[in-house]
Amino acid sequence: MKTSRFTDNQIIAILKQAEAGSPVPELYREHGISNATFYKWRAKYGGMDASLMARMKELEEENRRLKKMHAEERLKAEIVAEAFAKKW
């Protein structure tokens, strides 16, 4: 996954500027982002502070690791099931 050029604190600062009343098109130009990026950030991080954002990222990483572990275990179970089916 591609990493963002913006840190969590920068994203929150940009969203807070928009909430404070800055014109959104001006924010696009000032920070060099597209309107799609801004609205994606607003949908995902709107109303969060830095600690909530960090916690969410930790949970996403843990979820990714758990999904990977589950996929590996399913693969092992399928291999064992195939081995038993061929043996008998």
- How far separated are the first and last CA of the chain, in Å rounded? 44
Amino acid present at 66 = L
Q: How far is CA 18 from CA 2, 13, 50, 69, 75, in A?
A: 25, 9, 17, 40, 47
- In the predicted model, is pLDDT for residue 88 greater than 90? no
Q: Can you tell me which residue has the tokens 């990493």? A: 3
Q: Domain coordinates of the chain in residue numbers?
A: 1-48, 60-88
User: Is the pTM here over 0.85, yes or no?
Assistant: no
More confident residue, 8 or 67: 67
| pLDDT computed for residue 75 by the predictor | 96
On whether the CB atoms of residues 46 and 22 are closer than 8 A, the answer is no
Mean pLDDT of 56-68: 96
